[in-house]
Amino acid sequence: MLDPQLDAPARDALAQQARGQIEAAGSLKGENTWGLRKMAYEINRRTEADYRWYRFEAPTDLLDTLDHNLKIADGVLRFRIFKVEPNTPTIVPPAVAAPGPRERTGGPGDRGDRGDRGDRGPREDREPREEREPVVAEPAAVEPAAGE
């Protein structure tokens, strides 16, 4: 995940560096540029990141080198290296980023824009909260056990 505040050529250069390291010591099996997408949570006050994805085979020492270089590279917000089985299907990015938690989708449970509800009058099917009598729970009666 690359910092979107870098210009596109700088982000491409970071991605090319990682790709070059992979191709020099291993074999690149797949590459995908997902582009700018909204993140699930902020990282370094960023809400978006430029997502890049690589699938490769490499020796352990390349993984250590990549890990070190990506940790110290300016412009890399977050990265993960996973070990996957060779027959694992490749990930295809969604066509459109998923809506955020507060965005309405228009689905069956969506009640639409409800507008400003601060000036609603009192409900007529019950009396206002401060005028209602408090509910007091009664203790349950205990029956004596048989033989007492």
Residue 45 falls within a domain, yes or no? yes
Q: How many angstroms separate the CA atoms of 101 and 90, rounded?
A: 27
> For 93, phi and psi rounded to 5 degrees?
-70, 150
Residue 102 falls within a domain, yes or no? no
User: Other C-beta atoms within 10 Å of 11: how many?
Assistant: 21
- pLDDT tier, 112 (very low <50, low <70, confident <90, very high otherwise): low
Residue 77 belongs to a domain with what CATH number? 3.30.70.60
At 113 the pLDDT is 65
Residue 142 falls within a domain, yes or no? no
CA angle 79, 19, 63 (to 5 degrees): 55
Chain mean pLDDT for the chain: 80
Which residue in this structure is represented by tokens 């007529």?
124
Residue 145 falls within a domain, yes or no? no
What is the pTM assigned to this prediction?
A: 0.59
pLDDT per residue over 9-50, tens digit each? Answer: 999 999 999 999 999 999 999 898 988 999 889 999 999 999
Do residues 57 and 29 make contact, with C-beta atoms less than 8 angstroms apart? yes
Name the residue range of residue 22's domain.
1-97
Q: pLDDT at residue 138 above 90?
A: no
Residue 117 falls within a domain, yes or no? no
Q: How many angstroms separate the CA atoms of 95 and 125, rounded?
A: 48
Number of domains present in the structure of the chain = 1
Q: Dump the DSSP string for 15-70.
A: HHHHHHHHHHHSEEEEEEEEEEEEEEEEETTEEEEEEEEEEEE--HHHHHHHHHHH
Higher pLDDT, 69 or 117: 69
Residue 51 falls within a domain, yes or no? yes
Helices 8-25 and 60-72 cross at an angle (nearest 10°) of 160
Residue 60 falls within a domain, yes or no? yes
pLDDT per residue over 61-91, tens digit each? Answer: 999 999 999 999 999 999 998 888 888 888 7
Residue 73 falls within a domain, yes or no? yes
